[in-house]
Amino acid sequence: MYSRKAQIRALVGAIIVMGATPASAHGIVGARFFPATITSDDPFAADELALPTVTAFNHETDYDVDYSKTIFPGFAISLGIGYADAHPPGGPDATGFTNLSVTPALELWRSEEHEAIVTAGFIWDVGGTGARAVADRASTYTPEILFGKGLGDLPDSMALLRPLAVTGQLGFAIPGAQDTSRSFQWAGAVEYSLLYLQNNVRDQGLPPFVAHLTPIVEFSFSTPTDAGGGFTTGTINPGLIWSGQYTQVAVEAVIPANRASGNAVGVIAQLHFYIDDIFPHSLGRPIFGGKP
């Protein structure tokens, strides 16, 4: 049986991991542009910077920074770190830097025609790099599979559903600490691209600002797999993403999926920079194998 403290730490850890892991990459597959998701990882290895991601949820505010760098085309390493400011009711305040996370991601397969992509990732939450009050001493290792699929290949009779796309993230978190349960991490997003609607399905005459909006619902869950590991926890996050040429801005509500996940609705917001578009000839290129 895991201690109450270990369960709380696992819950906080899961929230931090799900909210702060490198929101890997904005990406294009075929005619589909996937904006970077913010509470789940998306399946792109790209050059990008999320600065900052601010999450206010469960009496805690987190400020996170994530930077992703392509090493060669289709392979990137992301670094993430944050600052947590927690004020749990009835408990001591806890503030400080969270653990550094390191996430290599390798694109395994993509189909331009079907707007589909599959990527393998490995999240290493580096134990002991954060403040003792908010971060585990032991590392957590999470191998994961990520995928994305646009519905642009639907038949003409379902043309208005073509702007829909889904992304998913399936991982298994293996904590180094003996008193924390291993857990199945499952997250993803359902999104409807108004830009795709405008450019590939039906020109609705939308104003430019509106045409760059993507209504989105993300979700992010953690299910302990060891006996006594606690309940499934997670959030459902409806919101909007505005994607420009060089940046995107996202705001989502954070709705606890059950009582074990929280008691009140929070909010998450992110400013995101497409480094490959801002610095196409230098910082935004892969270190090896990039086009000149």
Partner 1 sequence: MRYALMAAGLLAGTVAAHAHAMLEHASPGAGATLAQPPKAVVLEYTEALEPSFSSVIVNDANGHDVTAGPSSASGSTMRVPLKPLGPGTYRVIWHAVSVDTHRTEGAFSFAVSQ
Query: In whole angstroms, how far apart are CA 238 and each of 53, 182, 241, 242, 255?
Result: 16, 28, 10, 14, 8
Q: Using CB under 8 A as the criterion, what x/- string covers residues 104-143 for binding partner 1?
A: --------x-------------------------------
| Measured distance CA(281)–CA(292) in Å, rounded | 7
* Closest to partner 1 by CB, 65 or 267: 65
Determine which residue in the list 246, 260, 264, 288 makes contact with partner 1, applying CB under 8 A. 246
Other Cβ atoms within 10 Å of 169 Cβ, number: 28
Q: Which of 176, 215, 238, 280 binds partner 1 (CB under 8 A)?
A: 280
With contacts defined by CB under 8 A, how many residues of the chain interact with partner 1? Answer: 34
H or E segment and range at residue 17: helix 4-20
* Out of 16, 18, 20, 49, the residue judged to bind partner 1 by CB under 8 A: 49
Contacts of 192 (CB under 8 A, 6+ apart): 163, 164, 165, 214, 215, 216
Task: Please check whether residue 38 is in contact with residue 20, taking contact to mean a CB–CB distance below 8 angstroms.
Answer: no
Q: Which stretch binds partner 1 (CB under 8 A): 7-15, 28-36, 89-97, 170-178?
A: 28-36
67 touches partner 1 (CB under 8 A): no
- Does position 277 bind partner 1 by CB under 8 A? yes
Residue matched to tokens 């869950």: 221
Residues near partner 1, by CB under 8 A:
28, 30-31, 33, 49, 51-52, 63, 65, 83, 112, 156, 159, 195, 198-203, 208, 245-247, 271, 273-274, 276-281, 291
